[in-house]
Amino acid sequence: KPAPAPAPAVRPAAARPTERIPHSPMRKTIAKRMLQAKQSIPEIHVSVEIRLDKLMAVREALNQQLAAEKVKLSIGDFVTKAVALALRRHPDLNATFEPDALVRHGEINIGIAVAMEGGLMVPVLHHADGLGLREIRQGTEALVQATRAGKLTTQQMTGATFTISNLGMYGVRTFDAIINPPEVAILAVGAAEKRPVVEGEALVVGTVMTVTLSADHRAVDGATAAEFLRTVKGYLEEPATMLL
d(CA 134, CA 58): 13
Query: Is 198 inside a domain boundary?
Result: yes
Average pLDDT, the chain: 95
Query: Is 5 inside a domain boundary?
Result: no
Contact 215, 92 (CB under 8 A): no
pLDDT, residue 11, reads 72
Query: Is 92 inside a domain boundary?
Result: yes
For the packed helices 75-89 and 133-149, what is the interaxial angle rounded to 10 degrees?
A: 110
For residue 4, pLDDT beyond 90: no
Helix (H) or strand (E) holding 81: helix 75-89
Query: Is 233 inside a domain boundary?
Result: yes
For residue 16, pLDDT beyond 90: no
Query: Is 25 inside a domain boundary?
Result: no
Average pLDDT value for residue range 113-138:
95
pLDDT, residue 50, reads 98
State the DSSP string of 23-44. Answer: PPHHHHHHHHHHHHHHHH--EE
Structural domains in the chain (count): 1
Query: Is 125 inside a domain boundary?
Result: yes
Average pLDDT value for residue range 95-103:
97
C-alpha distances (whole Å) from 12 to each of 15, 16, 185 are: 8, 12, 49
Residue 109: pLDDT band with limits 50, 70, 90 = very high
CB contact set of 240 (below 8 Å; sequence gap of 6+): 58
Peptide bond into 99 cis (omega under 30): no
In this predicted model, what pLDDT tens digit does every residue of 225-244 receive, in sequence order? 999 999 999 999 999 999 98
- Domain that includes residue 200, residue range: 42-238
Return the CATH number at 163: 3.30.559.10
Which residues are the active-site residues?
217
In this predicted model, what pLDDT tens digit does every residue of 39-66 receive, in sequence order? 999 999 999 999 999 999 999 999 999 9
pLDDT, residue 2, reads 66
pLDDT, residue 143, reads 97
d(CA 216, CA 33): 15
Residue 171: pLDDT band with limits 50, 70, 90 = very high
pLDDT, residue 45, reads 98
For residue 112, pLDDT beyond 80: yes
Residue 24: pLDDT band with limits 50, 70, 90 = very high
Query: Is 24 inside a domain boundary?
Result: no
pLDDT, residue 118, reads 84
Residue 13: pLDDT band with limits 50, 70, 90 = confident
pLDDT, residue 1, reads 63
3-state secondary structure of 243: helix
Query: Is 7 inside a domain boundary?
Result: no
